[in-house]
Structure 1
Amino acid sequence: MALDYRKCAEEIYSHLGGKDNIASAAHCATRLRLAIVDINKVDTKALENVEGVQGVFSSNGQLQCIIGTGTVNHVYDEFLAVTGLTAASKEDVKAAAAANQPLPQRMVKTLGDVFVPILPAIVASGLMMGLVEALGKAFPGFAQTDWYNFLDMVSNTAFAYLPVIVAVSSARVFGGNIFLGAVIGLLMIHSALLNGWNVGSKDAINSFFGVKDGVIPTWNLFGNAKIGNYVIGSIRRTGYQGHVIPVIISVWFMSKIEKKLHDVVPAVIDLFVTPLTTVIVTSLLTFVVIGPIFSTLETYVLEGAKVLITVGFGVGAGVMGAVYPVTVVMGLHHMYNVIEAGLLASKEFGNLNIWMPIASAANFAQFGACLAVAVKTKNPKMKTVAVPSALSASLGITEPAIFGVNLRLMKPFIAGMVGGAVGAWFGSFTHLGASAYGVTGIPGYLTINNPLVYTIELAIAAGIAFAGTMVFWHEDPADLPDAAVEKMEAPTEVAFETDKGKVIAPVNGKIVPASAIPDPMFAAETMGPSIGIEPTQGRVYAPFNGTVSMIFPTKHAIGIVSDEGIELLIHVGVDTVNMEGKGFESTVNQGDKITQGQVLLEFDRSEIKAAGYSDTVVVVITNKDALKEIKKAAE
């Protein structure tokens, strides 16, 4: 008797603790995946007894109901109809799974999730900005031309409006409205605020605000009410150009506020009440709380940097060489122009900018680390990001290298910090200095007082970072590209022997027992006798002659039936349904006749690994009751 999909969905829903306890719902080739608010409200025992549910377990923040190939999609459709949830909820389920990671990993992953989509913009802009600035310094006449001004505008747009780009991407990551995110990003660089790059310039402050004391005015929203020396509701009228962390924090709050309001505001007024309230509350948090915290942090870092660079024997400079890329991540590095301007005006240091060699060492070290990744990686996609990012960093624009490569991989970032520390120490110890500010790296040759020693400093910084990355950073073997397509050969190893014939391994690689599959449902062989294959190539071949019974929409799983009646599920990777088809291609259609050795699916192992999932291929016989004998290649 066929399963009643509607009844199954209704019974599952009845045991989940109500709609408010379901954060999101998705499904893969075999199971219904639910992000649950409070797992204690779920009646797991009752779920296991629902007709159509073959098993229930909780994994990585998800409640998973095993329903089976070709059935779960129908139950899922009915589940959406019963609950009123939408199908556009896979990112929420994915986020729930990631929530169990350690905090540092979650933070780095969040930065990666925010920056990966915007990498093309900042990589291209960073490289172009470095080239344009270098040409302007090398050829002063060119800096006065219309071409220079036009190219300068084009190249720095992504950085001038970086908070907007980051805000939009952050809203996407946190599940907020991306257009409200854009509003928050625009608000943080509004033309009514002093450009964040000019906070240390008295002339700029006086000109912008029409004052004479070089002090940035404030808006005091609640008059002069104070807590100690703090004026409640005081807003310093400065923008956040160049900032990253405060933008991400603000949009995170915005997304939380928006979601909460959607839950409590009546639907009839939700359309205007929720966006209005979200923007106002987030704006106040941004400028009254988040802003002052980062302004205070800027002050401490600035004063600390001033003290450190004068510490004897270059020790303080070394510390700043290590810390500098961290301040880039936090968006605090723009304030160092204040130090540089003061140094150039100070006779104590011979009117030399001794900060520039420190920044150059730090930047060039990140170049060295990024270059090492570009040299060492076998992943073409990583190489296409690392090469231009390294070039950009060599010209003094490090954001693409840091956010696009080094910080994501972490060990190259640390190697860069070490290289920056040693290089900066050497530059300070040898009394390097510049006659101007605004350029580092290769363009720094135009202003440095000793080009030969400067070359040694850059070589030290980049060399240590390069060597450290080459030695300590190891690319995951799963990130390596598959062999050339023309060299791929269908497997010959037997995965299963049954009374109805043999099942050849559908993927080249090492066959492992079901217990080694990094997924509790498959490891327990809930759906049937199973084996795993740790693939060495990205192709799935037909393991026998038969018919395609099902292809999952995201192409990560396929069901086939042999001419003798063996029903097989081939599932590529664990939790790869969340990739929504990215990195997967099918070469056959449902209902097609297949022959042994024929290519069925192609998958990109590096894409799977980059998304944070295992690429283990799971092979399951789903009709074990129809077979008298089943012998697996790995027990």
Structure 2
Amino acid sequence: MALDYRKCAQEIVDHIGGRDNVAQAAHCATRLRLVIKDNSKVDKTYLDNVEGVKGMFESNGQLQLIIGTGTVNKVYDEFLSITGMTAATKDDVKAAAAARQPLWKRLLKPIGDVFVPILPAIVASGLMMGLVEALAKIPGLGFAGSDWFAFLDMVANTAFAYLPVIVAISAARVFGGNIFLGAVIGLLMIHSSLTNGWNASQGYDVWYLFGHIEIFPNYALGQINQLGYQGHVIPVILSVFCMSKIEKWFHDHVPEMLDLFITPLCTVMITALLTFMIIGPIFSGLETVVLHAAEMLVHNPLGAMVMGAIYPATVVMGLHHMYNVIEAGMLGSVGLNTWMPIASAANFAQFGACLAVGIKTRSQKTKSIAVPSALSASLGITEPAIFGVNMRFFKPFAAGMAGGAVGALVGALMGLGATAYGVTGLPGYLTVNKPLLYTVMLAISGGIAFVLTWFLFKEEQPAAAAKPEEKKEEKEETFVGETVIRCEAGTIAAPVKGQFVKQEDIPDETFAQGILGAGLGIQPEEGVVYAPFDGTISSVAESKHAIGISGAGDMELLIHVGVDTVAMNGDGFEPLVSEGDSVKLGQPILRFSREKIKAAGHPDLVVVLLTNSDDYTNVEVR
């Protein structure tokens, strides 16, 4: 029996608290996305049993009702008719949902959004950096003076040496700015005309653009410190945020015929002045305050405990490289670096928290990020773990701060120190004065963070759904035209050639758990999708990565290319059909670029789902 779209929409409205409880509403290829004002008014138990609703979960401030391709748009139209609301885009819903989140989440979210896409580069560099430093410290190996060391050290340091550029490009994408203008801002902040930011303690020159007109003590109007921002995060993100807003303003106000010339020129010039006159100096002043506070605190156990707790926060602000000044001063005055155990305790605690997330999470995507990021953190490079995992979920980050505080206190009480600086975590064994006690400290800091994270961290999971019926033994490889799904209504052929992937192994919980229906994944060998049966195109996703097809016996099929590829906004996808078109078995319906999908950091797996599989009594998936 066909679904009564009006009845389904009315039941949804009645049990989410009515029209007045909805801030925004939109839909994607399969889901009705709602931003709810008061979650206490939502009857989730009833909604989960509404005819036509195949699943329900909350994500990023949105209530998402899974309805299915070819059906959700019809239910959405009825929803708008009943509520009197106007249609909204997914971006509108995301913006509304973000606005309703707590302030701390709104402040932290952009940092996570900026760092998630660049994690592969940071993880690779972090792991290599830790290994190269460890090999260089082995006595008698002679690796530190070899050409191999020089080459690998260059490769390992590249992502961190030019981190502002990578961050700037990613931030421009997040804030909607031109990524190439963002790259220019990032390059400006580490230009070779500036003193390297890691050598700031050795002094730097100053440009006075408007003479020596002093407006504050030791600061003149138009003063620009010739100081780079290597290793920094916050000033880069703030600068690119300003750049994106300035660029948008010019796009809105400059005549189109002059836009190409005026907008980029004025955007870069104004952003450069803001960066070097305001954003940079303020952050530099913050650095000075943090460093002086660190110097005072580190000389007693309670102070060490405080620094062990706040050290990860200074990593977020990009201040941690400046601690080398403190370490160098300690080695020069007393011959023992007591800062190193504090940093090691803090870093190893973030490792423990990240590892707990990696082990506990059921998301293959989160696991694939958390486990290598934890390994990097154990070697003393914590940016991947902090930005990519712990801060995204926040509770692991807080647990890491707690573990770092206790570990640093223990390390100070045990009199731990190092004979060098710049090395923490496991490579720290090469320089620490008491290796056995160092092991105890790492175990305490990492262990506390791991246990706290294990009990505090609870990831959002889609609502549980019945799993598809037991499948027959499938072939290893699937060919275009070969039957892969069979039900009473007919057969569904493979839309692409490639390796068969069981549904439960698809790296997306919604697909894997059968919430959208029974199906399979295919690891494609080429970038063309073919019609799996004679039917009608019921939907083409706005982001072009998914197509819905209806066929004989009311079969509703979803072909979804890639995992999380909605974030690519259509780049790399070329639909060859439109909604309402009739297609024949084997007809090309979509081209896609596997290279672009992989470059964007997404699996290129093609997911094939019979979204109304619950309507049939016997669904077989090969």
Map 1:580-595 → 2, pairs under 5 A: 591=583
Aligned-partner Cα distance in 1 for 2:250–2:424? 47
Alignment partner of 1:325 is 2:312: yes
**Residue identity opposite 1:130 in structure 2:** G
Offset from partner CA, 1:429-467 (integer Å, 9 cap, x none): 111111111101111111111111111111100010111
Alignment partner of 1:540 is 2:517: yes
Offset from partner CA, 1:40-92 (integer Å, 9 cap, x none): xxxxxxxxxxxxxxxxxxxx99xxxxxx969989xxxxxxxxxxxxxxx9785
Alignment partner of 1:117 is 2:117: yes
Contact 1:351 1:435 in 2 (8 A): yes
Alignment partner of 1:135 is 2:135: yes
> Per-residue deviation at 1:27?
7.9
Unaligned stretches of 5+ residues in structure 1: 1-25, 34-59, 62-67, 74-88, 206-215, 493-507, 509-532, 594-609, 611-616, 620-635
Among 378, 385, 391, which residue is 1:394 paired with?
378
Map 1:433-448 → 2, pairs under 5 A: 433-448=417-432
After superposition, the Cα gap between the structure-2 partners of 1:145 and 1:559, relative to the gap in structure 1 and judged at 3 Å, is closer
Aligned residues: 470
Among 281, 302, 316, which residue is 1:292 paired with?
281
Aligned-partner Cα distance in 1 for 2:154–2:315? 22
> Per-residue deviation at 1:324?
0.4
Aligned-partner Cα distance in 2 for 1:31–1:417? 38
- The aligned counterpart of 1:275 is 264
After superposition, the Cα gap between the structure-2 partners of 1:446 and 1:541, relative to the gap in structure 1 and judged at 3 Å, is closer
Aligned-partner Cα distance in 1 for 2:310–2:471? 45
After superposition, the Cα gap between the structure-2 partners of 1:374 and 1:487, relative to the gap in structure 1 and judged at 3 Å, is farther
> Per-residue deviation at 1:382?
2.1
Contact 2:167 2:233 in 1 (8 A): yes
Aligned-partner Cα distance in 2 for 1:330–1:135? 29
- The aligned counterpart of 1:524 is none
- The aligned counterpart of 2:607 is none
Map 1:72-151 → 2, pairs under 5 A: 93=92, 96-102=95-101, 103-139=103-139, 141-151=142-152
Offset from partner CA, 1:276-300 (integer Å, 9 cap, x none): 1101100000010001110110011
Map 1:29-428 → 2, pairs under 5 A: 93=92, 96-102=95-101, 103-139=103-139, 141-200=142-201, 202=202, 205=203, 216-229=204-217, 230-311=219-300, 314-346=301-333, 350-428=334-412
- The aligned counterpart of 2:52 is none
- The aligned counterpart of 1:515 is none
> Per-residue deviation at 1:581?
7.9
> Per-residue deviation at 1:194?
1.0
Aligned-partner Cα distance in 1 for 2:288–2:92? 40
> Per-residue deviation at 1:241?
0.5
Aligned-partner Cα distance in 2 for 1:388–1:535? 23
Task: Quote the RMSD (CA, aligned, Å).
Answer: 4.5
After superposition, the Cα gap between the structure-2 partners of 1:139 and 1:90, relative to the gap in structure 1 and judged at 3 Å, is farther
Aligned-partner Cα distance in 2 for 1:177–1:252? 11
- The aligned counterpart of 1:500 is none
Aligned-partner Cα distance in 2 for 1:590–1:551? 12
The percent of aligned pairs where both chains have the same amino acid is: 58
> Per-residue deviation at 1:394?
1.0
Unaligned stretches of 5+ residues in structure 2: 1-25, 34-60, 63-68, 75-87, 475-483, 488-502, 504-509, 520-532, 586-602, 604-609, 613-622
Aligned-partner Cα distance in 1 for 2:355–2:329? 34
Contact 1:423 1:458 in 2 (8 A): yes
Offset from partner CA, 1:183-232 (integer Å, 9 cap, x none): 000000000111111112x3xx4xxxxxxxxxx22112121112231322
After superposition, the Cα gap between the structure-2 partners of 1:173 and 1:548, relative to the gap in structure 1 and judged at 3 Å, is same
Map 1:484-523 → 2, pairs under 5 A: none
- The aligned counterpart of 1:496 is none
Q: Secondary structure at the match of 2:144?
A: helix
> Per-residue deviation at 1:377?
2.2
After superposition, the Cα gap between the structure-2 partners of 1:375 and 1:359, relative to the gap in structure 1 and judged at 3 Å, is same
Map 1:449-598 → 2, pairs under 5 A: 449-478=433-462, 536-537=513-514, 539-541=516-518, 548=536, 550-553=538-541, 554=544, 558=548, 560=550, 563=553, 591=583
Aligned-partner Cα distance in 2 for 1:578–1:343? 48
After superposition, the Cα gap between the structure-2 partners of 1:444 and 1:540, relative to the gap in structure 1 and judged at 3 Å, is same
After superposition, the Cα gap between the structure-2 partners of 1:117 and 1:485, relative to the gap in structure 1 and judged at 3 Å, is farther
Contact 1:170 1:252 in 2 (8 A): yes
> Per-residue deviation at 1:364?
0.7
Contact 1:98 1:106 in 2 (8 A): no
Contact 1:558 1:569 in 2 (8 A): yes
Aligned-partner Cα distance in 2 for 1:486–1:242? 53
> Per-residue deviation at 1:551?
3.6
After superposition, the Cα gap between the structure-2 partners of 1:550 and 1:298, relative to the gap in structure 1 and judged at 3 Å, is same
Contact 1:369 1:462 in 2 (8 A): yes
Contact 2:545 2:565 in 1 (8 A): no
After superposition, the Cα gap between the structure-2 partners of 1:337 and 1:277, relative to the gap in structure 1 and judged at 3 Å, is same
Q: Which has the larger radius of gyration?
A: 1
Contact 2:534 2:583 in 1 (8 A): no
After superposition, the Cα gap between the structure-2 partners of 1:98 and 1:273, relative to the gap in structure 1 and judged at 3 Å, is farther
**Residue identity opposite 2:297 in structure 1:** L
After superposition, the Cα gap between the structure-2 partners of 1:590 and 1:443, relative to the gap in structure 1 and judged at 3 Å, is farther
**Residue identity opposite 1:254 in structure 2:** M
Aligned-partner Cα distance in 2 for 1:284–1:165? 21
TM-score, normalising length: structure 2: 0.66
Q: Secondary structure at the match of 2:113?
A: helix
Aligned-partner Cα distance in 1 for 2:221–2:472? 69
Q: Secondary structure at the match of 1:478?
A: coil
Offset from partner CA, 1:109-147 (integer Å, 9 cap, x none): 212221111111111111011100111112461100110
Q: Secondary structure at the match of 2:191?
A: coil
TM-score, normalising length: structure 1: 0.65
> Per-residue deviation at 1:536?
3.6
Contact 1:29 1:70 in 2 (8 A): no
Aligned-partner Cα distance in 1 for 2:133–2:181? 34
**Residue identity opposite 1:120 in structure 2:** P
> Per-residue deviation at 1:568?
7.8
Contact 2:379 2:424 in 1 (8 A): yes
Offset from partner CA, 1:391-422 (integer Å, 9 cap, x none): 11111111111112111121111111110000
> Per-residue deviation at 1:167?
0.3
**Residue identity opposite 1:371 in structure 2:** L
Q: Secondary structure at the match of 1:241?
A: coil
Q: Secondary structure at the match of 2:99?
A: coil
Contact 1:94 1:578 in 2 (8 A): no
Offset from partner CA, 1:8-59 (integer Å, 9 cap, x none): xxxxxxxxxxxxxxxxxx98569999xxxxxxxxxxxxxxxxxxxxxxxxxx
More deviation, 374-383/184-193: 374-383
